[in-house]
Structure 1
Amino acid sequence: PCGGQYSGLEGVVLSPNYPHNYTAGQTCSYSITVSKEFVVFGQFAYFQTAMNDSVELFDGPNENARLLSSLAGSHSAVPRTSDTQCSSVPEPRYGRRIGSEFSAGSIVRFECNPGYLLQGSKAIKCHAVPNALAQWNDSIPICIVPCSGNLTERRGTILSPGFPEPYGNSLNCVWRISVTEGAGIQARRAIQVMSFATEHNWDSLEIYDGGDMTAPKLGSFSGTTAPALLNSTSNQLYLHFHTDISVVAAGFHLEYKTVGLTTCPEPVVPANGIKTGDRYMVNEVVSFSCEPGYVLQGHSHISCMPGTVRRWNYPPPLCIGNQIPHPAPLVCFVGRPKDLNSASAGILENFSPHDRDLVDVFVSAQCGGTLYDLSNVILSPGFPGNYPGNLDCTWRILLPVGYGAHVQFLNFSTEDNHDFLEVRNGPQHTSSLIGQFSGSQLPPPLLSTTHETVIHFYSDHSENRPGFKLTYQAYELQNCQDPSPFPNGYIINNAYGAGQSITFECFPGYILVGHPVLTCQHGINRKWNYPFPRCEAPCGYNVTAQNGTIYSPEYPNEYPNSQDCIWLITVPQGHGVYINFTLLQTEPVTDYIAVWDGPEQHYPQLGIFSGNTALESAYSSFNQVLIKFHSDFSTSGFFVLNFHAYRLKKCPPPPVVEEAELVSEDQDYEIGDTVRYRCFPGFTLVGNEELTCKLNSHLQFENPPPSCEANEERTASAGVILSPGYPKNYPNSQTCSWVIRVRPPYTISIYVEMFQSEKQFDELEIFDGPSGQSPLLVALSGNHSTQLNFTSKTNQLYLRWSTDHATNKRGFKIRYTGL
Structure 2
Amino acid sequence: PTAAPEPRVPAEDAEQSPAELPWGDQATTSRPTLQISPSTLPPAAPRPLPDSPGGAAEAPTAAPAAVFPTRGAERDVPGSASEESQETTTSTIITTTVTTTEPSPVLCSMSFHDPEGYIDSTDYPPLPLHGYLQCTYNVTVYTGYGVELQVKSVNLSDGEVLSIRGVDGDALVVLANQTLLVEGQVIRSPTNTISVYFRTFQDDVVGTFQLHYQVFMLSCNFPRRPDFGDVTVMDLHSGGVAHFHCHLGYELQGPRVLTCINASRPHWSSPEPICSAPCGGTVHNATIGRVLSPSYSGNQSGSVYCVWAIGAPPGQKLHLHFEKLLLTERDRMVVYSGNTNRSAVLYDSLRADSVPFEGVISDGSAIRIDFLAEEPAAATAFNIRFEAFERGHCYEPYIQNGNFTTSDPTYNLGTTVEFTCDPGHSLEQGPAVIECINMRDPYWNDTEPLCRATCGGELTAVAGVILSPNWPEPYTEGEDCIWRIHVGEEKRLFLDIQLLNITNSDILTIYDGDELSARILGQYVGSGGPQKLYSSSPDLTIQFHSDPAGLIFGKGQGFIMNYIEVSRNDSCSDLPEIQNGWKTTSHTELVRGAKITYQCDPGYDIVGSDTLTCQWDLSWSSDPPFCEKIMYCTDPGEVEHSTRLISDPVLLVGTTIQYTCNPGFVLEGSSLLTCYSRETGTPIWTSRLPHCVSEESLACDNPGLPENGYQILYKRLYLPGESLTFMCYEGFELMGEVTIKCILGQPSHWSGPLPICKVNQDSFEHALEVAEAAAETSLEGGNMALAIFIPVLIISLLLGGAYIYLTRCRYYSSLRLPLMYSHPYSQITVETEFDNPIYETGETREYEVSI
Which structure shows the bigger proportion of residues in strand conformation? 1
Point out the structure with max Rg over C-alpha.
Answer: 2
* Greater relative CO (CA pairs within 8 A, separation 6+): 1
* TM-score bracket for the superposition, by shorter chain length: under 0.3
Q: If the length of structure 1 is used for normalisation, what is the TM-score?
A: 0.28
Question: Which of the two has greater helix per residue?
Answer: 2
Under a length normalisation based on structure 2, what TM-score does the superposition of the two structures give? 0.27
